Structure 1
Amino acid sequence: MENVAELGATTNHHRLRFAWQKLLPWLIPIAIIGFWQLAVNMNWISSSLLPAPLAVVQDGIALWQTGELPKNISISLYRATAGFILGGSIGFILGLLNGLSQTARALFDSSIQMLRNIPHLSLIPVVIIALGIGETAKISLVTVGVMFPIYINTFHGITSIDPELLEMGHAYGLSKRALLTKIIFPGALPTILVGVRYALGVMWTTLIVAETISSSSGIGYMATNAQEFMNMDTVLLCIVIYALLGKLSDLIAKALESICLAWQKEGSVK
């Protein structure tokens, strides 16, 4: 009976610890929102300068019911996803190519590094002149912003593989394809995924700027339009939506890391 009681107490302790670990990251945001609401209610802060969180939520519900909010969120998600897929694919392919081939590295890497050091948002005038102000321009900006973090992390991950592992693969008679799939890519994957997480942040930053310039749709357009009419409720709502989408992207990236790098944890346990 004592063992059963101890087991139950241990289980409850683990559950409480797990719940606390899940709650801990949200304590500071909840405290900030609570203080924010209190400050507005107590007139410490003018509601015209900084609307209360409840007012922002009510504005979001109203915009959702009219269909304006879901439409603009879906447009922003489309631009972000399209730019991320294009930029991520280009960055990964170039990183893989330059990491595996010294000839390709000598030919392309220097030029890519020069382009990488140009702030991609400074290319906005060039993109507008070349591509106009339509969807192509916005997706192209996101593509350029996403491409370099994934390129540099893919390139670094591949070139940082332990040479002894490669020698061992050659000693076992592995083909080039087997070396790539069994040694090089798994070894570079943690670094590549770090690049993915960083690129997701760049993706949203670039999209915010792209949608506030000559745009007629998207979350950034909503924020700019609301700013012109001094509608702080909608401006803050757009900021909150960007923050939530960024957090969701980071959670997806973490889940991807857990799935793709599960073999590392299994190996460390063994």
Structure 2
Amino acid sequence: MYRAKKREIAIMNVRFAATAVVFTLGACASTPPNPSDPGSIADPYEGFNRQMFAFNNGVDKYALGPAADAYETVTPRFARDRIGDFLRNLRAPVIFVNDVLQAEPSRAADTFVRFTINTTVGVAGLWDAADHFGVEHHSEDFGQTLAVWGVDSGPYLVMPIMGPTTPRDLFGSGVDRALDPLTWTEFDGDPDLDDKIAISRGVLSGLNARVALDDQIEQLNSQPEPYVALRRIYSSQRQAEIRNGRPEDESEMYEDLPDFDEFDQ
């Protein structure tokens, strides 16, 4: 009971802090995005953001990148794919809740069907069997849900390790964590097992994502201004995700278009 209470307090603190960030930074934002640039986003804290961008680049160069290279060397592609499918299946409950909150019944049904098929036929999610049945994957999070409800993103932020985000998405990530059933899972035989699982899940997710995005990261770092390029990629990516891949000038169309979750991690 103590551990459950401690976790509840921790999540409440995350939500409170994120809420404070939303209102404080949102109120302070003064640099509007360029309306002629669909990939623009307000960046009034560019000095701080550039420092965090340089810090994250250093962490990637000297820690995450080499760790991902070692992971890729010792882990066959087949095993990495199984790990990726398994981790993606674990996110299905959170995606399903956000589908429902966004009033997207067809997408919620797809998520439910995918989770059912992959957890059973796909052997606990180790294989994306649903994809072979034509039920394609899509990603949703509470930051997107807030956007659908009309909540403004606030200014662009670059956080240590976490990378590019906004106050809205930062708050949304805290809510998604609270929505994840694994956050509340307890194991009687090993009280610390849930923490070990959470850490292992985070490490594997980070390594798998870093390996998958190696080419994109190399292309980004080759740009004349990587910071600006990443800011545009993030803003455009999030706008496309919020529209569920629909063209901006045809947002009232309801057919599913290609998903834009390649840069999720």
Question: Structure 2 length normalisation: TM-score?
Answer: 0.24
Q: Which has the higher contact order (CA 8 A, sep 6+)?
A: 2
Looking at CA atoms only, which structure, 1 or 2, has the larger radius of gyration?
1
